[in-house]
Amino acid sequence: MVTFYHDIEQNIDSKANPRECRKIVKEFLKLEKKYGIAVTYNVVGKIFQEQPDLIEWILQEGQEVAFHSYNHQSDWQPKYYSDEVDLCSRVSSLPRGYRSPQSQWNQDTLKTLWRKGFLWNAENDKHKEPYFIYKGLVRLPIAADDWPLQTGTMNVDEWVQQFSKLLKRRPYFAFGSHDCVTSFASRERLEAWERVLRIAVENEALLGTFSEAADLFRRAALARYYDNTAAKNWDRFNKTLYRTKRFQELIRVEAEKLNQPIVADLGSGGGLLSRHLKDIAGKTYCVGNASDMLEGIGSDSCVQACPGEAIDSNLPDNSIDLVICAHTIEHLFWPDRLADEIKRIGKIGATYFVTVSALRDTPPSGEAPPSRIGHYFTPDEVQRWASQIGPGHLIGIQYEEPEPDSPETEQRYRAMEKNPSGCVPMHWVYIGTIQKEFTAKNHRETIPLSAFDFRFPSQRYDHLKTYLENVGRRLFKAFSPDDFALFHRIWQPKTVGRN
């Protein structure tokens, strides 16, 4: 898997001719269109702001725009790091990612990126795959760019060969060039860029922008989490929760208004919210990307497990009477694509039922993918999202965090739904009617999870952990989970290979 990118700097940190650099951008776009390759353009924020026509060229060709700092100071140093992110965030909310000049960054850079809503950060990095570097911020490792052409440490043939070698030994990497570097020897370096693109296509590499790579990684992390951690306990734990019972009740009320509805449960997990409809539904499709969760659905003529994703369900167009989507939208890189999928599969006039985690003063935090990448919604955000599909109404569920411990408490919880007195619930439920038709967008199709098999870092420790725990049980009776946790903190991947 390869991400191609360009750093668009013009003459900000070089003696390049800005007009020539603009021409180079057009030449890049022509070549990438010729080979059908999606590329990320990391643009210095100042150029982004002052040259909107340049940004429009890139977007019109369906390519991605990200930020490459705001000023790109020649004396790039830590005092600029966080402020430059702030400046970029004021220019536009469109870019979802950021690349630091010279790949120089610190922890404040990462914190500010996450606080300002960025979802990925691409830098020179020895990691061989994407990974979470700070909360839900995805680090995308860059392997090489064209700066050696500028310094003379490589010629174009060596540079192209470098790409070929990386393609053979790296499962994922980013490979890039600069508008300014290319402008100093445009014919030779554009030809080299075309050679690199051709090699990637001929070798059938999976090609995606930084955002596509980050999105794929996040979805894979979530699917793996639910396969490895939650599949066995999902139904057992969640079926007793107050919110689950309320969701089931509300869904059943909507389903009973329809005559043997065809139901789609997107991101369904084990079908917890939809399986109970089989006595009144004509057919229920439980769509999910975690295989272990789908296995729990079993075989039933009325309920069918469907491998897929909430934003790419593989269900037919205009075929569904009731769409259910619970605890899914908050984990999506592009939530609008869920709205598109609901409109695509749902009939005009069909009901859609969506649950969303509500933004509260202290949202949950954690290291597992669901809490790491979850977004918590305000009522206005839910309403804006739903307006793409059709009108409806918003309901707040569970205004206090503890589970009700008695029938009286449960009745009080239900009463609070009607009179919340300004409190914020734990969850929003939006029940609406599909009234807007699906229209195909100009974005590229979603890359399926099956296209790339990520090797998550925790897998490095799985066999070791199992072995040590077995040894602890059989030989060393005093070996405890705390002992292992201490050892695990000390033992890092960098020590592999040492005695």
Domain of 152, in residue numbers: 2-208
> Phi/psi class of residue 456: alpha, beta or left (left: φ > 0; alpha: ψ in -120 to 50)?
beta
| Number of Cβ within a 10 Å radius of residue 32 | 22
Q: Are 201 and 251 within one domain?
A: no
| 223 in a structural domain | no
Q: Are 141 and 239 within one domain?
A: no
pLDDT tens readout for residues 230-289: 556 666 778 889 999 999 999 999 999 999 999 999 997 778 899 889 999 999 999 998
Q: Are 179 and 282 within one domain?
A: no
pLDDT tens readout for residues 323-375: 999 999 999 999 999 999 999 999 999 999 999 999 988 766 677 888 888 88
Q: Looking at the predicted structure, is the pLDDT value of residue 298 above 80?
A: no
Mean of per-residue pLDDT scores for the chain? 90
Q: Are 435 and 483 within one domain?
A: no
Q: Are 41 and 90 within one domain?
A: yes
Nearest to 329 by CA among 238, 284, 266, 252: 266
Mean pLDDT of 32-38: 97
Q: Which helix (H) or strand (E) holds 429?
A: strand 427-433
Q: Are 442 and 465 within one domain?
A: no
pLDDT at residue 237, as a whole number:
76
| 337 in a structural domain | yes
Total domain count, the chain: 3
Last residue of a domain, one of 174, 208, 242: 208
Last residue of a domain, one of 208, 242, 261: 208
Q: Are 424 and 382 within one domain?
A: yes
| 218 in a structural domain | no
| 390 in a structural domain | yes
- CATH number at 352 reads 3.40.50.150
- CATH number at 14 reads 3.20.20.370
| 270 in a structural domain | yes
Strand 173-178 versus strand 262-266 pairing type: unpaired
pLDDT tens readout for residues 114-155: 999 999 999 999 999 999 999 999 999 999 999 999 999 999
Half-sphere exposure of 309 (CA within 13 A, CB side): 24
Q: Are 491 and 430 within one domain?
A: no
Distances (CA, A) of 376 to 9, 238, 328, 340: 35, 20, 11, 20
Mean pLDDT of 81-100: 97
pLDDT bracket for residue 482 (50, 70, 90): low
| 25 in a structural domain | yes
pLDDT tens readout for residues 1-16: 999 999 999 999 899 9
| 222 in a structural domain | no
pLDDT tens readout for residues 418-467: 988 788 999 999 999 999 999 877 678 889 999 999 988 654 444 444 44
Residues 373/136, Cβ–Cβ less than 8 Å:
yes
Q: Are 391 and 487 within one domain?
A: no
Query: What is d(CA 458, CA 454) in angstroms, rounded to the nearest whole number?
Result: 11
Distances (CA, A) of 403 to 335, 398, 399: 29, 9, 10
Q: Are 158 and 136 within one domain?
A: yes
What secondary structure letter does DSSP report for 11? T
The structure tokens listed for 266 are: 């997107």
Q: Are 447 and 463 within one domain?
A: no
Q: Looking at the predicted structure, is the pLDDT value of residue 478 above 60?
A: no
Q: Are 184 and 309 within one domain?
A: no
| 412 in a structural domain | yes
